[in-house]
Amino acid sequence: MKILLIYPKLEHGVTTQRDSKTPFSKPFGNPTLTLPQVAAVTPPEHEVRILDENFEKVDFDGDYDLVGISVLTMTAPYAYKMADRFRERGVTVVLGGYHPTALPEEAKQHADSVVLGEAEVSWPQLLEDFKKGKLKPFYNMAWPEPEKIPEPRMDLVKHQPLTGCIQMSRGCPNACEFCSTSAFLGKRVRKRPLKAVIEEMKKIPNKLIIFRDASLTTIHSYSREL
């Protein structure tokens, strides 16, 4: 099965670092782990490709069985248009990310299925259901335990920025009312085994590494040990 995973561009409005055209931000970028981690839990019998629309155009006539789109609120209007266009061609579309998790019924109007929250546990089951013709409208499984958080398939990221990225933990205990992180990742900080984090860091070729944790220093002893 051929799978395309897409980061949609920002159609208009506030410019983000990833789609900025400035000489500094373009090469350094704002690397993210979301789709490389989804690709990492994709069974090997499937052919998967990651496309960042800030760097390359989407081929709507491509031969894909399933398209997954990672959606933020600021990219949702355009992402919905993209999803509708694929579905008009008969391609199955799955939406996931912060915005579909917050507004799943809205997202479902533009998708065959919606993944709520973190996708690592749901994604393999979704693919199996799709293969059997039993795709569910929504997938909302448990958060993966820290030792089950996969090493991202960065080899599938075509346009590599000058900065690498890694994630030591997920979750945030603060639950600030203006922030969606605790609702999406949970209030429990799930710490990855430090040995796994260090081994992953050794594989990152970049000298500059961004930590993508929501609460990197919440547990001081864990951060100090690293």
Domains of the chain listed by start with CATH number:
2-139 (3.40.50.2300), 162-225 (3.30.750.210)
Nearest alpha carbon to residue 176 among 215, 223, 141: 215
- pTM for this one? 0.85
- pLDDT confidence of 23, banded at 50, 70, 90? very low
Q: What is the mean pLDDT of residues 82-95?
A: 98
- pLDDT confidence of 29, banded at 50, 70, 90? low
The pLDDT value recorded for residue 12 is 57
The pLDDT value recorded for residue 30 is 59
The pLDDT value recorded for residue 107 is 98
The answer to which of 16-25, 109-118, 142-151 has the lowest mean pLDDT is: 16-25
Query: pLDDT, tens digit, for every residue of 30-88?
Result: 568 899 999 999 999 999 999 999 888 999 999 999 999 999 999 999 999 999 999 99
The pLDDT value recorded for residue 24 is 44
203 Cβ contact list (under 8 Å, min separation 6) = 151
CA angle 35, 39, 43 (to 5 degrees): 155
